[in-house]
Amino acid sequence: MSTEIKAPTFPESVADGSIATWHKQVGEAVSRDEPLVDIETDKVVLEVVAPADGVLKEIIKNEGDTVLSDEVVAVFEEGAAGEAPKAESAPEAAQVPAASEDLKISPAARKALEEKGIDASAVKGTGKGGLITKEDVMNYQAPAAKPAAAAPAPAAEVDVPAGERVEKRVAMTRLRKRIAERLLEASQTTAMLTTFNEVNMKPVMELRKQYKDLFEKSHNGTRLGFMGFFVKAACEALKRFPAVNASIDGDDIVYHGYQDVGVAVSTDKGLVVPVLRDADHMSLAKIEDKVRDFGLRARDGKLGIEDMTGGTFTITNGGVFGSLLSTPILNPPQTAILGMHKIQERPMAVNGQVEVLPMMYLALSYDHRLIDGKDAVQFLVTIKDLIEDPARILLEV
């Protein structure tokens, strides 16, 4: 029985998507729930899986093609054994050199081979199971022809050829384009300013050291990190300074009576910001568990659009990559973002004595159209005070 494979139903905020990668080719056997194709939108990469055991019968949309919500991208044959009929693709296959008949070639790569007149057998496939992808074809360089034999020249007169100046041109992904658009929008449409402070991490580090084993045991393996403390501190500070938790909508200011905190997560495809809904009502353990889950799903491309929709405030941690200080860029329509950084021991003056303490620089970028410098500075000082005395987070003082 043939079944149409359709693109997922996109939310209203997503107009269309594009075929990123076909994991299976025509005639290839597929197991139920095995990935067939990745469809990339300007927010996330969506995975389409096989509805049952069977064979991929026909690919309608090739890699790079644009697809609409619920549009048919392939035809699937349920319960079929062996290879599905290839009559539909016979004319196309006939144009590929005979040497490539036993090779696995993606539709986009096949088209590129024909356009460039390249023998498929000369291209090394880097895809799954040796699949030749379009990128393999674009990166292929024909071996240089051997120069005609010449009389040997004296060794002193031989010129050493300069190193090759290789360039590679790759189309920008939809996700990267969207990230670029939003960052440019933030810099062009907001009056962004950044204020800095530093925080002594010793109290939190000692608390974590004392209770991390008990915490992990009591909360089903959830580890006690630093992000939970900063999220809780940010929620308390946001309650005290509502403008930092607000957004601008035209000529109106929207004050949010809840704290939906976005946590920036870096992936191979770009930066994404999943949101902790009602973070002010979440425990430290719940926050740490959700942040870890976001990180794992972001790495595997499993985050949904609903995970990244909304948010009233964002926290980003460049310290995990070694950043000592930076100015984070706003995530519109939010009006502020907190930047965490690397913890580094520095000599500090404490009660007239020099002590070596684990210090972290904090940065708060904010939209000066809505937030005055005084409120921004006091907001950051509030987070500093709460982190340096963690008991205040529990007591909300």
Active site residues: 368, 372
Instruction: Kindly tell me the burial class for residue 276, based on how many C-beta atoms sit within 10 Å of its own C-beta (0-12, 13-18, 19 or more).
Output: buried
| Helices 284-299, 227-240: crossing angle, 10 deg rounding | 110
User: Euclidean distance between the first and final Cα of the chain, in Å?
Assistant: 65
Instruction: Kindly tell me the burial class for residue 174, based on how many C-beta atoms sit within 10 Å of its own C-beta (0-12, 13-18, 19 or more).
Output: buried
User: Token digits for 138?
Assistant: 């674009």
Cis peptide before 333 (omega within 30 of 0): yes
Look at the block and give the residue holding tokens 């007149």. Answer: 117
| Helices 373-388, 227-240: crossing angle, 10 deg rounding | 140
- Half-sphere exposure in the Cβ direction for 186 (13 Å, CA): 23
Cis peptide before 358 (omega within 30 of 0): no
DSSP letters, 132-165, are BPHHHHHH--PPPPPPPP-PPPPGGGPPPPPPP-
